[in-house]
Amino acid sequence: MFLWRCKKLAKDNARTIDAIASEAGFANRSNFYRVFKRAQGISPTDYRLNH
């Protein structure tokens, strides 16, 4: 459920990746990027551009 929500938020161009990371409970963008990329195989920014 967590990653589904993060993926949905990543598609929303009105929010910055930093805002999404904070909303998801991450202390900083780096941690969010690492977890998202490990799970999805691409960064949140690349996911946003391709979906």
- Say if CB 26 and CB 14 are below 8 A apart: no
Show the domains of the chain with their CATH numbers.
2-50 (1.10.10.60)
Quote the pLDDT of residue 42.
93
Quote the pLDDT of residue 2.
74
Quote the pLDDT of residue 1.
56
Q: Which tens digits make up the pLDDT trace of 1-51?
A: 577 888 888 887 888 989 988 988 899 889 999 999 999 999 999 988 888
pTM for the model stands at 0.80
> How many other C-beta atoms are found inside a 10 Å radius of the C-beta of residue 29?
16
Cα separation of 14 and 40, whole Å?
21
DSSP for the chain, please give it. Answer: -HHHHHHHHHT-TTS-HHHHHHHTT-SSHHHHHHHHHHHHSS-HHHHHHH-
